[in-house]
Amino acid sequence: MVTQSVTGIESGAVAPSRLAARGVTVGYGTRTVIDELDAAIPPGVITTIIGPNGCGKSTLLRTLSRLLKPTKGAVVLDGEDIGRLRTRDVAKKLGLLPQAPVAPEGLTVGDLVARGRHPHQSWLRQWSSDDAAVVERALAMTGVSDLADRPVDTLSGGQRQRVWISMTLAQGTDLLLLDEPTTYLDLAHAIDVLDLVNDLHESGCTVVMVLHDLNLATRYSDNLIVMRDGSILAQGHPRDVVTADLLHEAFGLRAKVIDDPVGDRPLIVPIGRTHVQLP
């Protein structure tokens, strides 16, 4: 018997999900944030979106997950226009960790994570021991099992963040969109979460995440999407993409790019904003 992992992927299976933005224009009200953008998410790879505050990273992620509807173009999931799919069908294929999720007051950690199983339930298929096992495993994977009975709104920022990641994992999808999964986490917990993301990737998951820590982004992804002002400046393997010129163009940041002594990736050493006079 093949054991079902928490991500719903059986070992050795090839991740079937494919996701792409095709000529997508999207914004809020009359304000366009992203204009005619094309982006393809390679299967089975960790893609990390980086870029300055307000450049449209979350807007892109929310559009890719169907939370935002483009005014032009389309998002294609497994060859189908995501806008034509039912919410439940999208949720069975794609899990989204939003940037600043808020839990209903008083809801316990266990109940919140159990909500990740909702897309799998119907009046025909009620809550089962399999669902309970997936939830238990998802809690354990992010180290929050001990918090299961606590109301989410009584937790620290970092504990809460891990609980939300746990809920996203309980959804059991092989495509994960994580908007700043390491926010509020101390470095050791951030590395824990990114190692977990890497384990999921190794079990066949496709991951798209947004990170602000550029060195963690280069360390943990094989594909970087660098954004500025709603556009993609560069996309590719960190080794091919990360240069001092690009960092300056994207962030207005002066930095040296050296070899990471741990691993074979570039390491970014910030110097300062362009306007700062250095001795």
**Contact region with Mg ion (CB under 5 A), list: 53-61, 90-98, 227-235, 253-261:** 53-61
| Nearer CB in complex with Mg ion: 61/257 | 61
The listed partner (ligand ATP, Mg ion, none) that binds 53, CB under 5 to 8 Å by sort, is ligand ATP
Locate 160 and state its tokens: 């809460």
Q: To 5 degrees, how large is the angle CA 238–CA 239–CA 242?
A: 60
| Nearer CB in complex with ligand ATP: 51/181 | 51
Report in angstroms how near the CB of residue 48 gets to ligand ATP at its nearest: 13
CA-to-CA separations, 51 to 18, 122, 177, 187, 214, in angstroms, rounded: 23, 40, 16, 21, 9
| Nearer CB in complex with ligand ATP: 72/88 | 72
Locate 181 and state its tokens: 């999964």
Return d(Cα 234, Cα 216) in angstroms, integer: 18
The listed partner (Mg ion, ligand ATP, none) that binds 257, CB under 5 to 8 Å by sort, is none
One-letter identity of residue 279: P
Report in angstroms how near the CB of residue 159 gets to ligand ATP at its nearest: 21
Does 4 participate in binding Mg ion (rule CB under 5 A)? no
The listed partner (ligand ATP, Mg ion, none) that binds 55, CB under 5 to 8 Å by sort, is ligand ATP
The listed partner (ligand ATP, Mg ion, none) that binds 270, CB under 5 to 8 Å by sort, is none
Q: CB–CB of 58/210 below 8 Å?
A: yes
Question: By Cβ distance, which residue is nearest to Mg ion?
Answer: 58
Which helix (H) or strand (E) element contains residue 210? strand 206-210
Residue 103: phi, psi to the nearest 5? -90, 145
Does 58 participate in binding Mg ion (rule CB under 5 A)? yes
> What is the binding site for ligand ATP (CB under 6 A)?
28, 33, 51, 53-59, 99
The listed partner (ligand ATP, Mg ion, none) that binds 123, CB under 5 to 8 Å by sort, is none
Does 99 participate in binding Mg ion (rule CB under 5 A)? yes
Size of the site for Mg ion (CB under 5 A): 3
CA-to-CA separations, 18 to 47, 108, 138, in angstroms, rounded: 13, 34, 24
CA-to-CA separations, 4 to 29, 90, 160, in angstroms, rounded: 43, 20, 26
Return d(Cα 274, Cα 172) in angstroms, integer: 45
**Contact region with Mg ion (CB under 5 A), list: 51-59, 86-94, 116-124, 265-273:** 51-59
* Of 99, 68, 101, nearest in space to 83 by CA: 68
Footprint on this chain of Mg ion (rule: CB under 5 A):
57-58, 99
